[in-house]
A and B are shown apart, each in its own frame.
Chain A
Amino acid sequence: MKLSKLSKDGINEFIDFIDNINTIEDVERRRQQILNDHSSLVDDIECKPISSSPQSKLEVTKYLFNLLEQSSVSAETDKELWSWLSLYYFDTIHKKNKNNEYTLGEINKWIPNFEDYRKYYRHLLLGPWNIYKQHKGDIDTISGILCGEIHTPGDVYEQLASRQEWITSSQIQKAVTKLYYDHNNMSLKKGSGGKGGGSARRLSDVLKQFNMNYDFYAIKSDDLINLLPKEFDRFKSAY
């Protein structure tokens, strides 16, 4: 299918789809029906299936970035476009739970809410795309924050993407990659999630304190890492 947008009615149908997904008899048929009935063409650009396996957040985001670079639309605040992309790539970005049920979470994971940044970054495609775009796909900057699978934001993302001030700071994002990204296994280091010492959650707390004394655009990532308390040592030593 070619790059399209959902109409306002289409977005309402999509919300109904999300709210009732576990009672819809044929989910795939319903999804196709919404796409067929409520899409309007944006550009003559073929949207191919995303073959990344498992569904790497970075790979999916890179594909979307390249796709939208070819487009004539300004994607930054286009609710209808991102809603269509979420529905079109639904199979790539959802994951059923152990009981084979859909757990799609809040609406803003699928339909972006541009009026509140704390909801905006939660959109499963738009949030990572925005980070990729801001940092021009620089792997040294975004590998930490965009590590993992597209359907699961994860603790590192949740903790450190929630403030625009942090997400736009390449130095913070470089520090996150240096601390938490395991280059050998291309995964997050053990302990980066959760509530333990040195975790992303703790880094978020420490950054709030540093905010009083340091400017996150001017300070270098290595200097920032050196300022972190002892609890981060196990992550520092490995980068």
Chain B
Amino acid sequence: MRKYNYTGRKKINKEDFVLSMHSISESNNSYFEFEIEESITSLFNPASNLVLEAYHRATFMRFDWGKINNLKPAKDRYLTAFTDPEFIQFRIKIISELGMIEALADQVKPESDREKSYSQGILAVQNTDLEGSIWEIEFDEDDNVNPLLKIDTEIDKNRLNHNIQLKASILPRAFHAILTEILFFSGEAFDFTTEEKDTNWRSRWWLFCEKLDRKLSFDEVSGMTEEDKKAWIDATVAFFSRKMNFKNDLLDSLLDT
């Protein structure tokens, strides 16, 4: 859904700042560097404050950058609250003395020295403590955040790229869960087109379905019963599994062992 800003709040554009994240070797810890152009800060009240917030889902860290007329980088810029820096996004805020947000950049993904290893796809994967479950899929309330496949901490997520037993048992069911979320629980958040692929994860997955030649229009979805939807999801997942050759690869692997 297209969003409109009626608040009078100004937008801080990408060209107005440089935000980079750096990993520390031999640890999973990261820190960030930030600089903002004076041409943007000079537009605001000198007494307003510049603040950066790093977040991923409900985890959050805040970094005060001082007043507009006396900007000072936060001394400690380590992102210690996050278990996986891959998913961190930032908000950059200019805040009036009364607490109003005067300018904002949200969902900022920092430039990273680990960029190449980051997932650029449509499914994020993370190792996490699942208290006994092997894997789970999680959907964020932010429409732009890709679904997250969480795999138990003791099973290295990178195995998903190489291990056919893991792939064949997890990916089709994960895809099933994602299609179920899209078809049954999207509500008004999705119009069943690929137009909003830059802002809505559902559009990106719909594009993926389109590439699989499994395409449904808004009208087609509207005309489907619950049973129709379930059948379509099952058929699409089966098609995906055939395309990925899961069964044959799995059989080969079982015969090898």
Chain A residues with CB under 8 Å of chain B are: 15, 106-108, 111, 113-118, 162-165, 168, 212-220, 223
Instruction: Please report the C-alpha to C-alpha distance between residue A175 and residue B51 in the assembled complex, in whole angstroms.
Output: 22
Q: A107 and B7: CB pair below 8 A?
A: no
B132 at the interface (CB under 8 A from A): yes
Closest chain A residue to B81 by CB distance? A164
19 contacts between A and B (CB under 8 A): A106-B131, A113-B131, A116-B57, A162-B58, A163-B58, A164-B58, A165-B55, A165-B62, A168-B60, A168-B62, A212-B9, A214-B100, A214-B101, A215-B100, A217-B51, A217-B62, A218-B49, A218-B98, A223-B99
Residues of A close to B101: CB separation below 8 A: 212-215
Q: B128 and A116: CB pair below 8 A?
A: yes
Q: B59 and A117: CB pair below 8 A?
A: yes
Given the known inter-chain contacts A212-B7, A218-B49, please indicate yes or no for A164 contacting B60, CB distance below 8 A: yes
Instruction: Please report the C-alpha to C-alpha distance between residue A215 and residue B99 in the assembled complex, in whole angstroms.
Output: 5
Encode B217-252 as 1/0 by CB contact (under 8 A) with A: 000000000000000000000000000000000000
Partner of A107, one of B9, B55, B58, B132: B132
Partner of A115, one of B51, B55, B128: B128
Output the residue of B97, B99, B128 with the most chain A CB within 10 A: B99
Chain B residues with CB under 8 Å of chain A are: 7, 9, 49, 51, 53, 55, 57-60, 62, 81, 83, 93, 95-101, 128-129, 131-132, 153
Output the residue of A114, A162, A168, A213 with the most chain B CB within 10 A: A213
Partner of B153, one of A115, A118, A220, A223: A115
Instruction: Please report the C-alpha to C-alpha distance between residue A218 and residue B62 in the assembled complex, in whole angstroms.
Output: 12
Output the residue of A108, A111, A213, A218 with the most chain B CB within 10 A: A218
Residues of A close to B59: CB separation below 8 A: 117, 164
Instruction: Please report the C-alpha to C-alpha distance between residue A211 and residue B141 in the assembled complex, in whole angstroms.
Output: 14
Instruction: Please report the C-alpha to C-alpha distance between residue A1 and residue B49 in the assembled complex, in whole angstroms.
Output: 50
Q: A117 and B49: CB pair below 8 A?
A: no
Closest chain B residue to A164 by CB distance? B60
CB distance from B199 to the nearest CB of A (A): 16
Residues of A close to B97: CB separation below 8 A: 218
Closest chain A residue to B127 by CB distance? A115
Residues of A close to B132: CB separation below 8 A: 15, 107
Output the residue of B7, B9, B58, B129 with the most chain A CB within 10 A: B58
Instruction: Please report the C-alpha to C-alpha distance between residue A218 and residue B45 in the assembled complex, in whole angstroms.
Output: 15
Q: A219 and B131: CB pair below 8 A?
A: no
Residues of B close to A107: CB separation below 8 A: 131-132
CB distance from B148 to the nearest CB of A (A): 10
CB distance from B189 to the nearest CB of A (A): 15
Residues of A close to B81: CB separation below 8 A: 164
Residues of A close to B93: CB separation below 8 A: 215
Residues of A close to B53: CB separation below 8 A: 165
Instruction: Please report the C-alpha to C-alpha distance between residue A217 and residue B93 in the assembled complex, in whole angstroms.
Output: 12
Closest chain B residue to A112 by CB distance? B129
CB distance from B102 to the nearest CB of A (A): 10
Closest chain A residue to B83 by CB distance? A115
Q: B99 and A218: CB pair below 8 A?
A: yes
Q: A115 and B129: CB pair below 8 A?
A: yes
Closest chain B residue to A162 by CB distance? B58
Q: B131 and A108: CB pair below 8 A?
A: yes
Closest chain A residue to B64 by CB distance? A217
Residues of A close to B9: CB separation below 8 A: 212-213
Residues of B close to A108: CB separation below 8 A: 131
